[in-house]
Amino acid sequence: MDLGANTNFKLVLLSFLSQKIIEALETMTTENFTWNLDKATIEGKIWKTSNAPKGVVALVHGFFEHIARYQHVAEYFDQHDIALVGYDQRGHGKSSGKRGHVKKYEWLLEDVERLIQKAQEVFPNTPVVLYGHSWGGNIVTNYLLKRDTSKLAGAVVSSPWLKLATDPPKFQVALGKFVGKLFPGFTQTGPLNEADLSTDLSVGKAYKADPLIHNKISVATFLSTIEAGLWALDNAQKLQLDTLLMHGDDDNITSHTASQAFAQKAPEKVTLQIWEGMRHETHNEVKKEEVLKKVTEWIVGKVTS
């Protein structure tokens, strides 16, 4: 028996196993969490970074969708030591509740508060950046204007629903208000065209095939969101937190000109990025690497300053 060869084999095996252990320790991991609130069950997810996190993003997703659609965003953030925490909003994804219906808009702001607390609990002494897309952008913007933001390092608002790209007819809004008083939970099918999400049409196809996507919106939620968006536009000058506001100029879902109007009212706090030729989900665009690079650099700048 060649003892030298046997020893070399053991050393090689030990080195291999050590490397695998290191790789396992340096891999992004995920955890799920659950909130039981207001007779609703909210399902959330945490993406923990491979290395010690420089910061954590608390993300609020848009209407019809769910937090798992941000897996690739979490993976990109992980490359820069940024963790991610998010949840499926009420009536969305794996969370309970009537699809597309939230009884009180204020509950949405309270959920954001809980999300920030969750981020601080899981990642103590780590700067938190609040991130909202589309409907989530509407909610995050209202949170920034109505709540204490001193605990945050910054905010990212993506394609916010401050106004829709096309205003609904006034008679439709008036009818909605009448119906809403009698049947606030009455839902209708949302007129979303999957091709409007991204110039990468595979994004729309995957969206359409996703079993966790729904297409319902209630009268009460629709009207409260419109009201909240207009309120945010009227009060943009009250913004106290540094915010990266992004929008594609080919967005047929939410208004990029409304985002520009918001930024003009808070020029000292808002960094405005209009993405030429991009549609609603800039983080899912053909040039999403460019978008994610911009977002990540801005976030890293805030959490390390």
Active site residues: 134, 251, 280
Beta bridge partners of 35: 42
Two structure tokens written together for 25: 């320790």
Dihedral (C-alpha) 199, 201, 202, 205: value to the nearest 10 degrees?
130
Residue among 179, 166, 147, 135 nearest 257 (CA): 166
Rg (CA), the chain: 22
Residue among 165, 156, 159, 161 nearest 270 (CA): 156
186 near 269, Cβ under 8 Å?
no
53 near 83, Cβ under 8 Å?
yes
Q: How many CB atoms lie within 10 A of CB 132?
A: 27
- Cα 41-152-221 angle, rounded to 5 deg: 40
Q: In angstroms, rounded to a whole number, what is the distance separating the alpha carbons of residues 65 and 88?
A: 8
Q: In angstroms, rounded to a whole number, what is the distance separating the alpha carbons of residues 226 and 172?
A: 13
SS3 of residue 218 by DSSP: strand
